A = this chain, B = another copy of it.
Amino acid sequence: MIKGALFVVTAPSGAGKTTICDAVISRIGRLRYSISATTRPPRKGEKDGKDYFFLSREEFEKGIGEDRFLEHAEVYDNYYGTPKEFIFEQLRAGYDIILDIDVQGALALKKRKLPAVYLFIVPPSLEELKNRLVKRGTDNEEVIARRFAQARSEMGFISRYDYCIINDRLEEAVEDMLAVIRAERCRVERLKEEIARISG
């Protein structure tokens, strides 16, 4: 039986997704990140089975053939995908999973009718998003312009999601996401066993 809940989280670059999700995971139990599979080589310090499952192109394509990914995509000649087995193992063990994924990936999951909770994290305004992208100083003007245009177009899909977390003040956004996870754990359909025990 699947006990855990799958939280699919999307956010435009600069919305603060990683900061929020890290804070949420540190403050609530039974919650973990999903681990993606990829064919790109490990970067320095990255560990197989922790940061990614690093697969050869052959292994990855075999996995696609065997329908072992919830979704996958090819980006700049490398495959990225979400391994089913890892997620379902964790969910069966009672862990909730955060699956950090872009709009295309999330829509692919929805198409498969995967029972999941879909969250979209947004900045308080597009202007603030631009400020944040400029401030963090990691990207040149062209990249910033591209990320900004992408953010704008991604945000057109929010209505396909269940929840929207507006990251105006970080602490409030973290509380919002914690509330969503806590509330989802109170859903009647997730408490069937407990309810049967109580009513028995």
A residues bordering B, Cβ < 8 Å? Answer: 120, 122-126, 152, 155-156, 158-159, 161-166, 175-176, 178-180, 182-184, 186-188, 191, 194-195, 197-200
Contact = CB atoms under 8 A, between A and B. Distances in A.
Contacts of A187: 162-164
Contacts of A191: 164, 166
A200 B124 CA distance: 11
Contact of A186 (B164, B186, B197, B199): B164
Contact of A180 (B124, B162, B186): B186
Closest 7 CB pairs of A and B: A183-B183, A179-B182, A179-B179, A180-B183, A179-B183, A163-B186, A155-B199
A24 to B, nearest CB: 13
8 contacts: A155-B199, A156-B199, A158-B195, A158-B199, A161-B188, A162-B187, A166-B198, A183-B184
Q: Assembly of this chain: how many copies?
A: 2
Contact of A182 (B159, B162, B175, B199): B175
Contacts of A152: 199
Contacts of A158: 188, 195, 199
A11 to B, nearest CB: 12
